[in-house]
């Protein structure tokens, strides 16, 4: 939105100042997304975002009559937002958010990725914001909008309360820190064994201590310090990116902070507002706008989702052609169709698909493409679960990667499998990958016994419950609804890392074959319908202890 576009709002602003409620409605609807993005990115989705946005818009409405130059409305509004952000930082108590509040807050980096369908290095930039300090995020929230065409450098400097020269210096420093954070995101998505060991006890939440540790590791690590593709500067990646849509259900009350009509009118008189505007503000529903509704008391409520992004074009034959897929040695058993079996039976019992490992050179079948509107995770982009009782709840529509880490050197023996509980909607087991099954032989012990991902003769072996399908290093699932995955570790030691992912990433993993250094190709289990396999130990129930879900087999 350049300055010329900003000037197009001059008549609307002037009309709102003169008392036109419809013009005021248009201002709120048109500029609320900008304020929401500034505040949301500066606070990274903290639970206070809604309150700060609310206070910003209230102050803007309250003081609109004092704005002398309508052409400066945008910089004036953003400056108000930044003052509210800084005021909130000064008021904030030096205590950490409690766990329940932390889970309720929506990670703005995750919203950016999911709502704007970002991929590749654009996704990487959005996720790197999590690793910045509060002050850097505040400036980055403005710089992001500058390179996206929503703010000018003059407006950025004015909103930050600094000169343009100082703004240039500070923006350059933030860009340097952002590049360091991008390196951390890339490294965490990689497969460096030293980094895995370093982060084994990390709780998965970015903070300054872990940023320094990871940055120090990356600087001294040849694996993490390198990159497989040219790194595009962040400003080139962000040009033209749209604003993140306001979440459905977001409510903004415009009743001047809940003042009575008399008090509000007194306030309006002091700043030159007409009685017509104040009468309109305190009346029931007066306007319905695209995607939002003004309701009683001047409340603005987002009532519908933004237009869904167009579906991805199906790959053409020429772009996906490859040799015919040999049939695996045993085809996985599929679950009965919901049309043939009651849901309580399908999802309340184990659905088995015990199979032998396919030949290492057997290429996988084509993976059916299911709709992807995005998955949100209570564990963020990378949920690391190492202990019994740790869980992550996944919601939305899309693909999920569950990466296994068996630790027989810690504690071998019988393994109590993780469970999927509280299922609402559907979940399918779509593919297995990661280059190997966990029981693939990776070496020989001194006495000649086989060493696998499940252990070896020197450390002992991890043993699955009878009839349980052998997991691969990477297991992929498709969620359409919500479900909670819980680690039930007791006996053998294991950990799970859970990543929301997409169809392209699954396909790339399972088609990385032996000629590229992996032990085997992956395995597609999804047939594209409701009769595709579902995970073992999945239930719609929500037991107090997920470890009590029966782990029995029909095989």
Q: What is the pLDDT of residues 184-240, one digit of tens each?
A: 988 887 778 888 888 888 888 888 889 899 989 988 888 887 655 677 888 777 765
Higher-pLDDT residue of 555 and 152 is 152
Higher pLDDT, 553 or 390: 390
Residues with Cβ within 8 Å of 153's Cβ and at least 6 positions away in sequence, in order, are 146, 164, 167, 168
Query: What is the structure's pLDDT at 333?
Result: 35
The DSSP code for 123 is H
377, 498 contact by CB (below 8 A)? yes
How many C-alpha atoms does 296 have within 13 Å on its Cβ side?
Answer: 0
Q: Give the three-state DSSP class for 322.
A: coil
Q: Using the 8-state DSSP alphabet, how is residue 325 labeled?
A: P
* pTM reported for the whole predicted model: 0.46
- Write the pLDDT tens digit of every residue in 153-173: 888 888 888 888 898 999 999
The percentage of the chain sitting over the pLDDT mark of 70, rounded to a whole number, equals 71
**CA–CA dist 336, 253 (Å, integer):** 50
Q: Is the pLDDT of residue 404 over 90?
A: yes
Q: Is the pLDDT of residue 139 over 50?
A: yes
Pair of tokens at residue 251? 């409510």
Mean predicted confidence (pLDDT) in 461-480: 90
The answer, yes or no, to whether residue 264 has pLDDT greater than 60, is: no
Strand (E) or helix (H) holding 476: strand 472-486
**pLDDT of the residue at 36:** 87
Indicate if the pLDDT at residue 69 is higher than 80. Answer: yes
Contact (Cβ atoms closer than 8 angstroms) between residue 117 and residue 197 = no
pLDDT confidence tier of residue 524, bands split at 50, 70 and 90: very high
**Number of other residues whose CB lies within 10 A of the CB of residue 392:** 22
DSSP 490: S
Mean pLDDT of the region 345-369: 71
> Which one, of 535, 510, 537, lies nearest residue 522 by Cα?
510
Sheet of 441-444, strands arranged across? 413-414, 460-463, 455-456, 450-452, 441-444
Report the percentage of the chain scoring pLDDT > 90. Answer: 17
Task: Using the predicted structure, report yes or no on whether residue 341 has a pLDDT greater than 80.
Answer: no
| Residue range 93-122, pLDDT digits in tens | 444 434 333 333 445 766 665 556 566 787
Whether 338 shows a pLDDT value over 70: the answer reads no
String of b and e for 281-319 (b: at least 16 CB within 10 Å)? bbeeeebeeeebebbeebebebeeeeeeeeeeeeeeeee
pLDDT at position 23? 84
pLDDT at 63 > cutoff 60: yes
Q: What CA–CA distance (Å, rounded) separates 487 from 476?
A: 17
pLDDT in tens, 532-553: 888 888 888 898 888 888 876 5
Q: What is the pLDDT of residue 400?
A: 96
Q: How confident is the model over 169-185, as a mean pLDDT?
A: 90
Residue 37 has pLDDT above 70, yes or no: yes
Q: What is the pLDDT of residue 242?
A: 61
pLDDT at 117: 59
- pLDDT tens by residue, 280-334: 333 333 333 334 444 444 455 554 434 443 333 333 322 223 333 333 333 333 3
Dist CA 463 CA 498 (whole Å)? 22
According to DSSP, residue 511 is labeled T
Query: For residue 402, what are the β-bridge partners?
Result: 475, 498
């Amino acid at each position: 939105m350049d300055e010329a576009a900003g000037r197009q709002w001059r008549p609307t602003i002037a009309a709102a100042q003169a008392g036109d409620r419809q013009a005021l409605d248009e201002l709120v609807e048109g500029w609320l997304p900008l304020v929401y993005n500034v505040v949301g990115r500066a606070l990274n989705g903290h639970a206070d975002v809604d309150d700060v946005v609310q206070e910003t818009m209230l102050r803007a409405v309250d003081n609109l009559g004092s704005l002398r130059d309508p052409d400066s409305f945008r910089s004036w509004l953003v400056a108000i937002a930044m003052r509210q952000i800084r005021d909130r930082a000064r008021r904030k108590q030096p205590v950490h958010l409690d766990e329940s509040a932390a889970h309720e807050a929506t990670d703005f980096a995750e919203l950016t990725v999911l709502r704007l369908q970002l991929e590749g290095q654009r996704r990487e930039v959005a996720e790197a914001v999590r690793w910045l300090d509060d002050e850097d995020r505040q400036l980055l929230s403005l710089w992001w909008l500058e390179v996206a065409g929503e703010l000018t450098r003059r407006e950025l400097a004015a909103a930050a309360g600094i000169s343009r020269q100082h703004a240039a210096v500070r923006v350059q420093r933030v860009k340097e820190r952002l590049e360091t954070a991008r390196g951390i995101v890339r490294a965490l998505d990689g497969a460096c064994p030293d980094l895995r060991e370093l982060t084994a006890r990390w709780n998965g939440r970015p903070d300054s201590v872990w940023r320094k540790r990871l940055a120090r590791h990356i600087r001294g690590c040849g694996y993490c310090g390198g990159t497989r593709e040219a790194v595009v500067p962040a400003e080139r990646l962000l040009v033209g990116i749209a604003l993140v849509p306001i979440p459905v259900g977001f409510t903004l009350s415009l009743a001047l902070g809940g003042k009575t009509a008399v008090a509000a009118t007194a306030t309006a008189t002091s700043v030159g507002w007409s009685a017509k505007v104040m009468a309109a503000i305190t009346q029931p529903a007066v306007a319905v706008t695209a995607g939002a509704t003004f309701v009683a008391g001047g409340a603005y409520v987002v009532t519908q989702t933004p237009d869904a992004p167009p579906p991805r074009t199906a790959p053409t034959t020429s772009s996906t052609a490859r040799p015919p897929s040999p049939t695996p040695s045993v085809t996985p058993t599929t679950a009965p169709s919901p049309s043939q079996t009651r849901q309580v039976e399908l999802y309340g019992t184990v659905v088995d698909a015990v199979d032998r490992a396919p030949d290492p050179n057997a290429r996988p079948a084509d993976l059916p493409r299911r709709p992807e509107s995005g998955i949100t995770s209570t564990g963020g982009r990378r949920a690391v679960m190492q202990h019994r009782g740790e869980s992550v709840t996944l919601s939305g529509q899309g693909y999920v990667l569950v990466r296994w880490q068996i630790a027989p050197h810690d504690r071998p023996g019988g393994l109590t499998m993780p469970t999927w509980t509280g299922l609402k909607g559907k979940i399918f087991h779509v593919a297995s990958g990661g280059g190997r099954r966990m029981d693939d032989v990776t070496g020989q012990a001194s006495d000649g016994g086989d060493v696998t991902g499940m252990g070896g003769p020197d450390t002992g072996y991890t043993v699955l419950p009878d009839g349980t399908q052998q997991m691969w290093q990477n297991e992929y699932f498709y969620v359409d609804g919500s479900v909670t995955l819980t680690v039930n570790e007791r006996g053998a030691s294991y950990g799970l890392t859970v990543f929301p992912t997409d169809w392209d990433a699954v396909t790339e993993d399972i088609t990385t074959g032996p000629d590229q250094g992996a032990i085997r190709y992956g395995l597609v289990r999804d047939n594209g319908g409701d009769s595709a396999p579902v995970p073992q130990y999945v239930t719609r129930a929500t037991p107090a202890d997920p470890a009590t879900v029966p782990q029995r087999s029909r095989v």
